[in-house]
């Protein structure tokens, strides 16, 4: 089997309705979608990605009214956030209803949901009429795809169809927020919606301090090694003083002087713009990986706004 790449939304909806797997574009990254309420279809996602079953999936819906069918209780804070940020790169973790298969939530009592802000994802959700479970469409632990070609490179022979919606606008995954019925929300993963914007709506948000105890319970997918290219990545304060610079590929959020000395260079944004840097991040990591450099050196962004999401992905790429 080698998946066809197409722009035919009706064909993709038909595959999903018959229990198949479709890669779909979203504003963040490409997702690997299946009918969220069909455990056999969902099981195929884990198989195609080599994803461990303890890592739960995000359920995508077309509109907020579909939440009632999936979620047992919608706290006020969640309603406010949904109104303000959906469709968009924000995932809310809420108490689940029994109809949501345990496979989707890895046995947790909560389900992660979001409405993607991409016309093709919206069209597919509406045409199929289904809630769609979709993790990022990459092999487990590897760099997330931001184009249909990226998906094909890793998954073409493991899935049914790739729906092409062009390059993803945001380029990093959604922000994941656990919203309990009582108490403060907790940030589980920084992403395309800045923490500051969320706090402006619901007040102070806890930031998950990862420990061996709370990761399995609260955020089982937040393994530290992730987003990893094959070439080892090292985080540095500065690119000056790297030994044998020609052997290094460098990844910088903004401009770098004297780039000719390095083996390969990826400047994420010449203007040092964080939104542009996020949109380029994963494609840049993939390109560096292909140049044959021995190592990749990267510098972090200021830890604010989208910089948090970019830094999180770089730290995890750096294992």
Report the interface residues with ligand TXA, using CB under 6 A. Answer: 26, 28-29, 31, 55-58, 89, 91, 93, 105, 108, 110-112, 116, 134-136, 173-174, 176, 188, 219-222
Number of C-alpha atoms within 13 angstroms, CB side, residue 52?
A: 9
Which C-beta is closer to ligand TXA: that of 192 or that of 263?
192
Q: How far apart are CA 138 and CA 277, in angstroms?
A: 20
Q: Is there binding between residue 136 and Mg ion (CB under 5 A)?
A: yes
Q: How far apart are CA 16 and CA 35, in angstroms?
A: 6
Q: How far apart are CA 25 and CA 167, in angstroms?
A: 8
Which C-beta is closer to ligand TXA: that of 264 or that of 313?
313
Residue 175 touches which member of Mg ion, ligand TXA, none, C-beta under 5-8 Å by kind: none
Which C-beta is closer to Mg ion: that of 178 or that of 262?
178
Which C-beta is closer to ligand TXA: that of 221 or that of 307?
221
Whole-number minimum distance, CB 289 to ligand TXA, in Å?
19
Pick the stretch among 5-13, 44-52, 133-141, 273-281 that binds Mg ion (CB under 5 A): 133-141
Q: Is there binding between residue 28 and Mg ion (CB under 5 A)?
A: no
Residue nearest to ligand TXA (CB): 221
Pick the stretch among 36-44, 74-82, 125-133, 136-144 that binds Mg ion (CB under 5 A): 136-144
Whole-number minimum distance, CB 98 to Mg ion, in Å?
26
Closest by Cα among 52, 86, 45, 49 to 66: 86
Residue nearest to Mg ion (CB): 136
Q: Is there binding between residue 26 and Mg ion (CB under 5 A)?
A: no
Q: In 276-293, which positions are buried (b, 16+ CB within 10 angstroms) versus exposed (e)? A: bbbbbbbbbbbebbeeeb
Q: How far apart are CA 277 and CA 305, in angstroms?
A: 12
- Residue 63: other Cβ atoms inside 10 A: 12
Catalog residues that contact Mg ion under the rule CB under 5 A. Answer: 136
């Amino acid at each position: 089997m080698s998946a066809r790449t197409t722009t035919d939304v009706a064909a993709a909806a038909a595959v999903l309705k018959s229990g198949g797997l479709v890669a779909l574009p979203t504003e963040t990254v490409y997702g690997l979608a299946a009918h969220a309420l069909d455990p056999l279809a969902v099981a195929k996602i884990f198989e195609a990605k080599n994803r461990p079953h303890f890592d739960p999936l995000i359920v995508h819906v077309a509109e907020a009214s579909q939440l009632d069918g999936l979620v047992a209780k919608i706290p006020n804070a969640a309603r406010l956030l949904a109104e303000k940020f959906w469709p968009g790169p924000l995932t809310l973790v809420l108490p689940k209803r029994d109809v949501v298969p345990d496979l989707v939530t890895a046995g947790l009592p909560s389900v992660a949901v979001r409405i993607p802000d991409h016309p093709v994802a919206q069209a597919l959700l509406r045409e199929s009429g289904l809630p769609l479970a979709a993790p990022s469409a990459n092999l487990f632990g590897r760099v997330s795809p931001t184009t249909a070609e990226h998906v094909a490179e890793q998954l073409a022979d493991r899935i049914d169809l790739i729906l092409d919606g062009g390059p993803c606008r945001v380029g990093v995954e959604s922000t994941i927020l656990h919203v309990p019925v009582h108490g403060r929300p907790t940030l589980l993963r920084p992403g395309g919606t800045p923490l500051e914007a969320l706090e402006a709506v619901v007040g102070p948000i806890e930031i998950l301090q990862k420990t061996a105890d709370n990761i399995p319970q609260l955020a089982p997918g937040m393994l530290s090694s992730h987003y990893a290219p094959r070439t080892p990545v090292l985080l540095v304060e500065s690119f000056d003083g790297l030994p044998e610079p020609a052997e290094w590929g460098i990844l910088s959020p903004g401009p770098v002087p004297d780039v000719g000395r390095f083996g390969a260079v990826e400047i994420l944004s010449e203007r040092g713009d964080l939104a542009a840097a996020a949109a380029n991040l994963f494609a840049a990591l993939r390109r560096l990986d292909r140049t044959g450099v021995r190592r990749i050196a990267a510098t972090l962004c200021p830890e604010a706004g989208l910089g948090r999401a970019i830094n999180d992905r770089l730290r995890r790429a750096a294992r």
